[in-house]
Amino acid sequence: MKHIFYAIACLLALASCGQSPTKPTAPTQPDYFPLQVGNWWEYAKDTLDSKGNFVFDQTIRCEIIGDSLVNNIQYFKIKNYGGLFPANGTVSFIYKDTNGSIMNTFDIIPTNAVDSISTISLYFNKPIDEYWNLFPNDDNINNPTRLTIRSKTDSTNVPAGFFYPNCVIGYVGQRYGPSTFYGTYLETVYSLNVGLVKLRPVSGEGGIHVPMQFSLTKAHIGSVSYP
């Protein structure tokens, strides 16, 4: 369970070197995680009540507050407030490669191009059902938590609006053998040109049920506001 709650914080996250804010290099693949200084997202965090229904708990806000270059890689500095985060917020540093994949370094200052401390990778261009490690340097090598793309044609209705198409990334736990997995316990839904719009718990055979969900309530991406 340690990784699942850390992953939630990492995924909601969307050392400045004193440079002026800049726009990211346009990816060659569909952009499911738009990065630009000034972009922000707000989410409703819901938790389960005694009857098993999701009810509103608190608001989470993620905002891109700056960017910088480290070894010619453009990092974006994202501050996260509310919910799982400390009262004064916490910071993530992320970058996007030219095919739209994301590397997120959580609560550290990146120092070089291969910084891999506490990282999470999002490969939106992977084929459906192909697996990769949640953390590249997983400390539980014999039984890592994996990610996989479940769908690239999902539609999702949240308070911020109706979004389509979406890329759905699922978390899968418990590995048995080189390629056998079971127990999907979390899915994150990323909408084209918007970013993360939904984090929803699901459970398969042997899966862990996560007692919380997140839904996008409002956002400002580039010059567009939602709803």
Contact 63, 78 (CB under 8 A): yes
User: With bands split at pLDDT 50, 70 and 90, how would you rate the model's confidence at 36?
Assistant: very high
What is the overall mean pLDDT for the chain?
Answer: 75
Whether the ω angle into residue 227 lies within 30 degrees of 0, i.e. cis, is: yes
**Distance (Å, whole) CA 165 – CA 72:** 32
Task: Give the domains, in start order, of the chain with CATH numbers.
Answer: 2-222 (2.40.360)
Task: Say how far apart CA 168 and CA 161 lie, in whole Å.
Answer: 17
Rounded to the nearest 5°, which phi and psi values hold at 2?
Answer: -55, -45
Q: Determine if the peptide bond prior to 165 is cis (ω within 30°).
A: yes
Contact 73, 1 (CB under 8 A): no
Digit-coded pLDDT (tens) for 42-61: 999 998 888 888 899 899 99
What is the mean pLDDT of the segment spanning 22-39? 72
Of 84, 81, 76, 82, nearest in space to 34 by CA? 76
pLDDT, tens digit (0-9, with 9 covering 90-100), for 146-184? 788 999 999 999 999 999 999 999 876 654 444 454 555
Classify each residue of 66-102 as buried b or exposed e, where b means 16 or more C-beta atoms within 10 Å of its C-beta: bbbebeebbbbbbbbbbbbbeeeeebbbbbbeeebbb
Q: Which tokens sit at 126?
A: 């992977």
| The pLDDT of residue 112 is above 60 | no
What's the token pair of residue 226?
């939602």
Residue 168's DSSP bridge partners are 151, 189
Under the banding of pLDDT at 50, 70 and 90, the label for residue 17 is: very low
Spatial separation of the C-alpha atoms in residues 86 and 162, rounded to whole Å: 31
User: Could you give the percent of the chain with pLDDT greater than 70?
Assistant: 64
Helix (H) or strand (E) holding 52: none
- Report how far residue 30's alpha carbon sits from residue 110's, in angstroms, rounded to the nearest whole number: 26
Tokens linked to 15: 């050392």
**42 contacts 219 by C-beta, under 8 angstroms:** yes
Note the pLDDT of residue 166. Answer: 95
Query: Across residues 74-101, what is the average pLDDT?
Result: 80
